[in-house]
Copies of this chain bind each other. A is one copy, B any other.
């Protein structure tokens, strides 16, 4: 999918200076970085995502012509306590666009993400889109919180609103000196979610301007991207994201959590000394996608076992193996002399759909005995007839 959108594949560095990794992670993820001193005493760490390395690379290459569209699919490490389906090493995919700020780049990242899931046969996803600037406008204009530090602190309550109750948050924020009515208003604001037009109307009623979201909606409609929902509680890392943010969920199982997420993060190129570069992207786990795909479909792939009956048949057996492989068919044969009955047991254990039995009779007639491993039926066929049989769909 990345190729079709002309993203260039790269693999970011596995080891970065700790300071580089910390530029993104802040205090939240810092403790999860797999950090160590190398033999030269430098403080380094293993990448915990693909974005930092790609951004550091682009920021350091001043000759690149924007927009720079990069993609990666590789492993990353977190020094977490391992849990079920959450390991210290995991694989991610990642799409990033670096260049001048452009809502159409956000739209392109969202489109490519949706097309990726469609291509994988997991098309029934919802993209929940928020915008940090809309939240900021609400906090400034409706709640009249002008001080930036205070505003950011309040916005963090929105992120927490997905997991905590209003009374809990009210109490916490009252102790910090916030008006509980503001927290309540913010909580209500976070509940604005649904079809984009409806959300834009509700924002309008509250006099919260969201010009970016209105434009983004037009751009996504142009691109034919459906199943987009606007959701004001989506803010993600508030210290990190600077514009549009989104999370992708399985429409049928929204409770399973996010399959992918992303947004605009001008913050990071700025930290790497390139304030003129804007950046937007998306990332998702590969292991979880693989698991869903394995669960959802796929017949057993074709595997053929070539059983060798007698050493006089070995040359012919290997000619058969070469012919199968030339035709793209996975096959294997015993690696040591073994009675035919044991070979057929091996074929079963390997999950072969067919065995081709090759003895001296078959060798002299350039044929094979085709054995259907499901029914046990056998038939002597010339090699090309056998290949056609293997390729024919089975009842």
A residues lining the B interface (CB < 8 Å): 3-6, 11, 13-15, 34-39, 46, 65, 67, 69, 75, 77, 79, 88-89, 97, 99-100, 102, 104-105, 108, 115, 222-224, 303, 314-315, 318-319, 322, 324-325, 328-332, 334-336, 349-350
Determine if B14 and A318 form an interchain contact, defined as CB atoms under 8 angstroms apart.
no
**Residues of B contacting A13 in the complex (Cβ-Cβ under 8 angstroms):** 89
Closest 9 interchain pairs by CB? Answer: A36-B36, A6-B332, A4-B325, A102-B336, A104-B335, A105-B335, A102-B335, A223-B318, A222-B314
Determine if A6 and B39 form an interchain contact, defined as CB atoms under 8 angstroms apart.
no
Q: Which residue of B lies closest to A301 (CB)?
A: B3
> What are 29 A-B interface contacts by the 8 Å CB criterion?
A4-B324, A4-B329, A4-B330, A5-B325, A6-B303, A6-B330, A6-B332, A6-B350, A11-B75, A14-B46, A14-B89, A15-B77, A15-B89, A34-B38, A35-B39, A36-B37, A36-B38, A38-B79, A67-B335, A69-B332, A97-B335, A104-B334, A105-B335, A105-B336, A115-B325, A222-B315, A222-B318, A223-B322, A224-B318
**Residues of B contacting A37 in the complex (Cβ-Cβ under 8 angstroms):** 36
A174 vs chain B, min Cβ distance (A):
37
**Residues of B contacting A14 in the complex (Cβ-Cβ under 8 angstroms):** 46, 75, 77, 89
**Residues of B contacting A322 in the complex (Cβ-Cβ under 8 angstroms):** 223-224
Q: Which residue of B lies closest to A88 (CB)?
A: B15
Task: Tell me, in angstroms, the Cα distance from A314 to B221 when the chains sit together.
Answer: 10
Task: Tell me, in angstroms, the Cα distance from A38 to B44 when the chains sit together.
Answer: 12
Q: Which residue of B lies closest to A327 (CB)?
A: B4
Which applies to chain A's interface (DSSP): helix, strand, loop or mixed?
mixed
Task: Tell me, in angstroms, the Cα distance from A304 to B54 when the chains sit together.
Answer: 25
The residue from B4, B100, B104, B315 contacting A331, defined by CB atoms under 8 A apart: B4
Q: Which residue of B lies closest to A36 (CB)?
A: B36
Determine if B349 and A65 form an interchain contact, defined as CB atoms under 8 angstroms apart.
yes
**Residues of B contacting A105 in the complex (Cβ-Cβ under 8 angstroms):** 335-336
Task: Tell me, in angstroms, the Cα distance from A335 to B325 when the chains sit together.
Answer: 45
Q: Which residue of B lies closest to A322 (CB)?
A: B224
A351 vs chain B, min Cβ distance (A):
10
Determine if A328 and B224 form an interchain contact, defined as CB atoms under 8 angstroms apart.
no
Known: A4-B325, A13-B89, A35-B39. 10 other contacts (CB 8 A): A6-B303, A11-B75, A36-B37, A99-B335, A100-B336, A104-B334, A105-B335, A222-B314, A224-B318, A224-B319
**Residues of B contacting A34 in the complex (Cβ-Cβ under 8 angstroms):** 38
**Residues of B contacting A3 in the complex (Cβ-Cβ under 8 angstroms):** 330
**Residues of B contacting A65 in the complex (Cβ-Cβ under 8 angstroms):** 349
**Residues of B contacting A69 in the complex (Cβ-Cβ under 8 angstroms):** 332
The residue from B38, B79, B332 contacting A39, defined by CB atoms under 8 A apart: B79
Q: Which residue of B lies closest to A44 (CB)?
A: B36
- Residue from the set A77, A79, A97, A222 with the largest chain B CB neighbour count within 10 Å: A222
Task: Tell me, in angstroms, the Cα distance from A214 to B375 when the chains sit together.
Answer: 41
Task: Tell me, in angstroms, the Cα distance from A314 to B104 when the chains sit together.
Answer: 11
Task: Tell me, in angstroms, the Cα distance from A328 to B1 when the chains sit together.
Answer: 9
Q: Which residue of B lies closest to A329 (CB)?
A: B4
**Residues of B contacting A97 in the complex (Cβ-Cβ under 8 angstroms):** 335
